Amino acid sequence: MSVTTALGFRAAGVTAGLKKSGNPDMALVVNDGPDFHAAAVFTSNRVAAAPIHWSRQVLSDGRVDAVVLNSGGANACTGPEGFQNTHATAEKVAEVLGLSATDIAVCSTGLIGEQLPMDKILPGVEAAAAALTADGGAAAATAIMTTDTVSKEALWTSPNDAEGLSYSIGGMAKGAGMLAPGLATMLVVITTDAGIDPDALDAALHDAVRVTFNRADSDGCMSTNDTVLLLASGASNAVPNMDEFTKGLTQVCATLARALIGDAEGASHDIAITTKNADSERDAEIVSREVARSNLFKAAIFGNDPNWGRVLSAVGTTDAVFDPDKINVSINGVQICRNGCIGDSRDLVDLTPREVTVEIDLNAGLAEATIWTNDLTHAYVEENSAYSS
């Protein structure tokens, strides 16, 4: 269940020496074809890292032959030298694999504002290329981890078509903080052996990301390096129905997005905030997101306190269509707020399980959206203060 499940892909994860811990920190994923189609979604942060600028150019013709990823340094806010380092990394991959640098995507993650140690990156590329195997997906998934406590992989396989052909969609992801809208501090590589042209890949990827990664909001902070790459080799000979493909891709993205939230820095609760009966999907999404970003609400959930006033006060700051006197809120199935007023007893709410569901009924329409987030904990503060850096 990884980026090497789909036919036509090899991968590797090695230790280049970028991390003080000595853990693996460089991954390589190679598409051996016959197709080299690709689509991507990048961070919308206007302070974008050097690898984002580079990879946007690489993706412009819809072709990617390989992706090189490093943890241990974001290569963001590093100026012309940082961009030259990304370029040199791609050139090195091209050289050792006999490819063109303009078909090599680059991803980086780690601290912003430090130059990458190229004396370690370039030998790391050679080591990764030498380690490429058709079952290297798990090693690659491990090498891209930063503060992640577990590696994240997902797989979906299509049913056989009329000709007995099927295809797979497999992915890996990293990210544990700075998880917010328009992606997160996350790198995601998804591969498929279906035969799909770049335009259709792009449409499917945007559809899937919109309702998965873009609805995971751990801490409201958007990274400079977010990348979701989708590579298609066509090696299965299956040409998919695009509705089916998009559904499978969305499932893979949702699994990875949930895994990111489930491993978010210091979290003790995973919270699904669903706004239903909204006037529009946009309204449902902004209401859920506003609650997901309330530190007061998130701290209350950490303390197992069903403080629904903090839900209502967050909802009230949005411009969504609603009547304050017609809002219902349930936490873990108990309707503690009814018609904008006191509902069932807070004491009935059991917040000891890790999974928490918050349901906000706006009574204003038919649309619905869910945002996944976490609680705000001592451990989040600890991990993100200097004690951990």
Active site residue ranges: 185
CB–CB of 168/156 below 8 Å?
A: yes
Q: Confirm or reject binding of residue 312 to a second copy (CB under 8 A).
A: yes
Nearer to a second copy, 302 or 372 (CB): 302
Q: How far is the CB of 78 from a second copy (least distance, A)?
A: 6
Q: Confirm or reject binding of residue 117 to a second copy (CB under 8 A).
A: no
Q: Confirm or reject binding of residue 4 to a second copy (CB under 8 A).
A: no
Q: Confirm or reject binding of residue 113 to a second copy (CB under 8 A).
A: yes
- Helix, strand or coil, per DSSP, at residue 47: coil
Nearer to a second copy, 74 or 356 (CB): 74
CB–CB of 64/30 below 8 Å?
A: no
Mark 72-111 with x for binding to a second copy (rule: CB under 8 A) and - for no binding.
Answer: --x-xxxx--x----------------------------x
* H or E segment and range at residue 309: helix 309-315
- DSSP H helical segments within 211-278, as ranges? 242-262
Amino acid at 152: K
* Binding site members for substrate: 146, 174, 185, 265, 384, 389
Cβ–Cβ contacts within 10 Å for residue 44, how many? 12
Say which residues have a Cβ less than 8 Å from residue 282's Cβ, sequence separation at least 6: none
| 99's tokens | 């490819």
* H or E segment and range at residue 107: strand 104-108
- The residues pairing with 367 across neighbouring beta strands, listed in sequence order, are 278
**Contacts to a second copy from residues 131-150, by CB under 8 A:** none
| 378's tokens | 């001592």
Q: Confirm or reject binding of residue 302 to a second copy (CB under 8 A).
A: yes
Mark 314-353 with x for binding to a second copy (rule: CB under 8 A) and - for no binding.
Answer: xxxxx---x-xx-x--------xx-xxxx-----------
| 56's tokens | 């946007």
Nearer to a second copy, 221 or 239 (CB): 221
Binding residues for a second copy, per CB under 8 A? 44-48, 74, 76-79, 82, 111-115, 177-178, 182, 219-224, 293-296, 299-300, 302-305, 307-310, 312-318, 322, 324-325, 327, 336-337, 339-342, 376-378, 380-389
